[in-house]
Structure 1
Amino acid sequence: MASNLQCWLCERLLGRKVQHHHTVPKAKRGRETVPVHPICHRVIHAHFSNAELARIGGDRGALLAHEEVAKFLSWIATKPPDFHASVRRTKN
C-alpha cells in the first residue's frame, strides 16, 4: 500500500517501507522523527555522525548542502519509491 507522504530527505513519495529518522539522534535526547525511505535513512547515517546530526538538528538544508548527499539526491530523484540499493559510507 503506497503512502501519500513524502520523504523528508528526498521529497519523493514514500513507498511500502517507511523508516522514521530522529532529526536529533535518540542518543542525544532527540524525540522528533520524520518519515524517510530506508535508502535515504542509510545515506543520512553514512555521511553524518550522531554528534553532527545533533549539531545540525532538524536543519534539512544542512544535509542537502553536503556534496555526497546532493549527488545522491540527484541520482535517486527518478527512482521509484521502493527502490533499494547499497549505500557507501564516507564518514570517519
Structure 2
Amino acid sequence: MARKTPNTWPEPLPAAEALTCALCQRETPTLTQHHLTPISRGRRQGIKVQDLPSVGLCAACHNYVHTTFSNSELAGFYGSLEALQEHEGVQKFVAWVKKQPIGKAVKVK
C-alpha cells in the first residue's frame, strides 16, 4: 500500500491572458511588435527604437505585412494602422485569416 504524502506538485499556472491582434482582431496568446515606422527609417531620422510608434500583431498578420510591403512603402504610405487596414490586399488577407484557427501555421506568399 502506497503512503499518502502531501501534494508537492506546483500549482498549475493560470491560463495566459488572450491578447488581441490590432489588424485581424483575433485573440492570441502572443503578439509581435510591428513598428509602424520601420526601425531602419527611424534610426536615420534620429528616433530611438523605443520611441517609434508600434502595434501588436499576431504572427500571421506581421508576416503578411512584411512580405507584402517594403520598408519604403511602410514608411511612406502605411505608417499608421488605419492606412494598413484600408489597403485592399490587407482587407482580403484579414477576412481570410479571421476564419483560420489561431494555432494554425499560416504561410504567406
* TM-score over 0.5 for the pair: yes
Q: How many residue pairs end up in the alignment?
A: 86
Give the % identical residues: 35
Which residue is 2:40 aligned to? 27
TM superposition shift of 1:75: 0.7
2:65 to 44, 55, 74: 44
TM superposition shift of 1:41: 0.3
User: Which secondary structure does the structure 2 equivalent of 1:20 belong to?
Assistant: strand
CA RMSD of aligned residues (A): 1.8
Maintained 8 Å contact 1:12/1:77: yes
Instruction: Name the larger-Rg structure.
Output: 2
Matched, 1:65 2:79: no
TM superposition shift of 1:28: 0.9
The runs of 5 or more residues in structure 2 that have no matched partner are 1-14, 43-48
Q: Distance in 1 between matches of 2:102 and 2:16?
A: 9
TM superposition shift of 1:81: 2.6
Q: Distance in 2 between matches of 1:33 and 1:61?
A: 13
Which structure's relative contact order is higher, taking Cα pairs within 8 Å and 6+ residues apart?
A: 1
User: Which secondary structure does the structure 1 equivalent of 2:20 belong to?
Assistant: coil
The runs of 5 or more residues in structure 1 that have no matched partner are none
The two structures have a TM-score, normalised by structure 2, of 0.67
